[in-house]
Structure formats: C-alpha cells, structure tokens
Amino acid sequence: MLSLASDWKIIDDPRTITISSKISEGGYDNPVTVEYAQPIRITSLDKITGPLFANESTRAWNVWAEKLGGLIPKKGDALGEVSGELTGEPTGVPSTNNFWTVVRVDYVDTDGGGVQRYRLWVEDSV
C-alpha cells in the first residue's frame, strides 16, 4: 500500500507556522514551529453548508503529522504566523492580527495507515 505520510513534499506554496498548545484558560505551552503548513481556501459552498463558517474570519490549514514532532493539535490551541507572510490569502479575508484560535480539528487518514495530516479550522484571536 502506498503511504501518504510524506505527501507534504508535493504541496504548492508551503508556509511555516507555529502552534501553541492550550494548557489552561489563557495559558499556552511554548510554540512549536511547523513547516509545510498548507492554507486551504474556504469556498462559498463551505460558507453555505457549515455553521462554522458564519464567522468571516474562519480559515483552514492542513498540517502534516510528520512535521509536528509528536504534537497533536486540539481545539483551543493557538496558531501563529512566522514570517509575516500571512495576510488573509487563505480565505481572501484580511486578517486583523497574526494569531488564530483552533476551533475544530479534522483527522485525515487517507491511506488507512494512521493520521497523515490534520485540518485545523481557525478563527481570529481577540
């Protein structure tokens, strides 16, 4: 069977982000740098079909398990930009800040060999 654990090697326009695990209300662990994150464009259909997209600042990111060093993302974690390059391109909506809060995590196991990537749905942090 073909393993897709390293399919991050073929994505277009990879980004470098940080993920900070939420450890308490208002408290976060030190950020982990994650290379090869992939912004996902949210379509008009996504906005119609899911209540999650009622917030115009919702964005989505693919992050590969192989690049997380054992970190398992969860709701409430913080995602941040590294180089200042993230300005709203993933959804076409300008961001008001450089940090987002994870509001949902989807586990993607395309080849049946375990989670290869996570889809992180994030919203602007206040």
Domain range spanning residue 73? 7-124
The answer to whether residue 107 is domain-embedded is yes
- Give the CATH number for residue 45: 2.40.10.270
110 belongs to a structural domain:
yes
pLDDT reading at 2 higher than 60: no
Q: What is the DSSP string of 47-99?
A: HHH-GGGGSTT-EEEEEEGGGTTT----TT-EEEESSS--SSTTTTPPPSSSE
Our count of domains for the chain comes to: 1
Are 64 and 116 in contact by the 8 Å Cβ rule? The answer is yes
**What is the value of pTM for the model shown?**
0.75
| 89 has a pLDDT exceeding 90 | no
Looking at residue 123, what is its pLDDT? 86
pLDDT, residue 95, reads 43
**Mean pLDDT confidence for 43-60:** 66
Q: What is the pLDDT of residue 57?
A: 67
What local confidence, expressed as pLDDT, does residue 52 receive?
A: 57
The per-residue pLDDT for range 22-50, each reduced to its tens digit, is: 998 888 888 899 988 988 877 666 666 66
* Residue 95: inside a domain: yes
The reply to whether 2 falls in a domain is no
1 within some domain: no
